[in-house]
Structure formats: C-alpha cells, structure tokens
Amino acid sequence: MPGFELIGKEEKKQLSKLIDDGGVLFAHGFEKKRKNFHIREFEKQIAKKFKVKFCLAVSSGTAAIKIALKALGVKPGDEVITQAFNFIATIEAILDCGAKPVVVNVNNTLNMDPNELKKKITKKTKVIAPVHMLGVSCEMDEIFKIASKHKIPVLEDNCESVGGKYKKKYLGTMAEAGIFSLDYGKFITTGEGGLILTNDKKIIKYCREYHDHGHENNPKLPRGRDTKNIFGFNYRMTEMQGAIGKVQLKRVNYLLKENKSRYLSISKSLKNVVKIRSIPKFSIPNYDTFIFFEQDKIVRKKIINLLIKEEIGTKNLPDAIEWHCSFFWDQVFSKKERNKFLKTKNLLNTAIAIPIMLKHSPSKYKKISNEIKKIYEN
C-alpha cells in the first residue's frame, strides 16, 4: 500500500509546527529563525531504521539514481547494466550521466536475470543497477557474485520495494549504494523525494556536495563563502518534505504488517489456482503487490474487469506497462534493440498485479480471491 493512504493529522501537525517554529523551508542556514533541521533529522532516522551509516534526502528517486551513479564514477562512454522491467527513470538517469544503458531481460521473479547479466558484462561496464520491482528483491547473491568477479560496483534501485529484505537485510542497504523513492505512490511518501543510502564515506560526501551545487557546507564559513571541490546541481529536498518524512517513517512496521495480512489473504486462497510470481530464496517482500500470470486472454480480461469493478484495479501490469518495460521506449532504443526485450514484454503481458491497499480489508481481498477462483472453475 502507498504511504499516501495514511496522510492526515500527524503530517498536518508537523507542517503547522514547521511554520510556527519560524517557517524556514530551506535545508540550510537561518539558525536563529528555526528550531529544527527536519531533513537532517529525517536522514538520521532513516539511517538508523534501515541500519546504514549514511543517508541523503534529495528531490526525487530519479535524482537519487543520477547522483548515486555520479558518485560511483559513471561518465560518458561508460555502460550501466539494468533490467527491462523497470520505470524509465533509471534509463533517464544513466543517459543524463552520458553513459549507455545496457538492458537485460527479467525472469519469473520479474527482476534481473543473473544468467543474462553474465553475458552483458564488457570492459565498459561501470555499474550494475538491479531494480527490486513491486515489493520483491532481485537474486542478489548471484548478482553480487558476478559483480565481485568483475570488480564492478552495484547500485540497488529500491524505489519500488522499500521495507523488503534479502537475507534479513533491508533492500537498498547491501550494495555500495542504494536508493529509495518517496514519490506519492510509493511505500512511504513525501509527495516527491528520494533517498540515497550507503556505508561509504566517500560516496556520501560526493552525493551531499553534488546535490547542493557543490557546496561542502563548511561549518567554519557562512554559506555564501562556502568552499567547493566539484560542480553540482540543485537536487535538494525541502524542509516540508523532511517534516512529512519523519511521520511517514514511523509507519513502516505498521504498513508491512497490514500489507502482509492482505497479501496472504490472496496468496493462500490462490496458491493452487494460479501461477504466482517467483520469489527468490532469502527474499522477504514488502507485500505491496500480489502478482500472478495468466496466458489466456479471455480469462485475463475477466479477472481484470473484476478487479476494476471491485475498485481495486491493477498496479503497472497491465495498466502502465508502457512506462515500465524497455520494449516500448522507442525514444531511447531502436527497433532492433527493443526486440531484444521481447522476452520481458511477453512475460509482462501475461502478468496481473493486484495492488495491496489499506482501504480494502483482508476479508475484501479474500472475497476477490474467491471470485477469481470462480472464473477458473467456470
């Protein structure tokens, strides 16, 4: 379920307090006029919750990807490997670094196929960027093994699976760097926003400077006389988002619990009826999407119509497949290149993704499951 479902009194209270305490919406300075640095507090709370040393809050998940890629040394002429089921933002960030996106197909986990990844490594490969899609981790042991063999850093794109785990570690915390999205439709939200998580001091230093026009934020100097070593851009978050983020973060465990109860209502009912998405060994989902496959077009249509009728709908598959599959991105790839992603496109065309929402009770999801069963029985 997305964090926007719970936006209410607590967020309003934090925003009112921010204004009452001086109304400073900028992340830096104005110490005499403010009582809190909300973004700094939010970053520390994220780092503590997800058990990493460092966190940087930025303006969007897309910005987080680009900044992290820059921090990992991606430059024009390099190649970055990612996957064909993915939001286009990852590709945009790679291109904006001047690098070439190299795309691999997904397998039945709907995440990066490690067997295909092996074949895509070249001397130009600078970063491997697996994407944990719709609540479930990639096969990280295999990916790390390949990356380690070739001494290539890994960037975990965890925009879509915040709260999920692999081998009891939070997704987005296992590689050289990981990123979260705080977009309005994500697990927790600040409206727009993104996070970079890392345990590497050099990476976080570069990210902090690059996202703030190169500012080092030297405590011995006023901001207007600040020192700098690199150029950068403005990818800063606002204090309003930081204030909201602190409230949303407190709900992570509650959201995971509520997601799981609804997800299990469906999976237990349909486990012997439909072909459910494969979940890698050691993976603990965040349970925000239940996905299964159905090749029969007539049956698929009946199920999708049922979900629409019950005001549940689908999540990305099939309703937003064009924005989440490289096969459709003719603004980036040639027809010949896009045909290489047919395997992913054909698999996604059989998938039905049921969003897990707080507004629908576990009993509602069980009822839907029973209705889906009836479709198969008939």
CA distance 195 to 240: 15
Say if CB 189 and CB 207 are below 8 A apart: no
Say if CB 172 and CB 231 are below 8 A apart: no
| DSSP state string for 305-332 | HHHHHTT---SSTTTTGGGSBGGG-TTT
3-state helix, strand, coil in the chain (%, to 5): 40, 15, 40
List, edge to edge, every strand of the sheet that includes 79-83.
Answer: 100-104, 79-83, 125-128
pLDDT at 217: 87
pLDDT in tens, 108-138: 999 999 999 999 999 999 999 999 999 999 9
Q: What is the CA radius of gyration of the chain?
A: 21
pLDDT at 378: 82
pLDDT at 220: 86
pLDDT in tens, 215-259: 998 888 888 898 898 999 999 999 999 999 999 999 999 999 999
pLDDT in tens, 174-193: 999 999 999 999 999 999 99
- pTM equals 0.96
Q: What is the four-CA torsion angle of 350, 290, 176, 44, rounded to 10 degrees? A: 150
pLDDT at 121: 98
Say if CB 357 and CB 312 are below 8 A apart: yes
pLDDT in tens, 154-172: 999 999 999 999 999 999 9
CA distance 145 to 67: 25
Span 69-77, mean pLDDT?
Answer: 98
Average pLDDT of every residue of the chain: 96
CA distance 252 to 247: 10
pLDDT at 360: 96
Q: If you count them, how many residues does the chain have? A: 378
User: Could you give all domains of the chain from N- to C-terminal order, each with its CATH number?
Assistant: 3-249 (3.40.640.10), 252-377 (3.90.1150.10)
**CA geometry: angle 228, 230, 233, nearest 5 deg:** 100
| DSSP-derived 3-state class of residue 249 | helix
Residue with tokens 């503590």: 48
Say if CB 55 and CB 176 are below 8 A apart: no
Predicted confidence (pLDDT) at residue 57 exceeds the cutoff of 70 = yes
- Contacting residues for 209 by C-beta, under 8 A, at least 6 apart: 215, 216, 228, 229, 230, 232
pLDDT at 369: 97
CA distance 62 to 64: 5
- Interhelix angle 38-49/239-249, nearest 10 degrees: 30
Tokens matching residue 112: 């990066």
pLDDT at 324: 97
CA distance 257 to 143: 29
- Report residue 31's pLDDT band, with 50, 70 and 90 as the boundaries: confident
Residue 46's nearest CA partner among 36, 57, 58 is 57
**CA geometry: angle 277, 103, 327, nearest 5 deg:** 75
Say if CB 22 and CB 14 are below 8 A apart: no
Predicted confidence (pLDDT) at residue 1 exceeds the cutoff of 80 = no
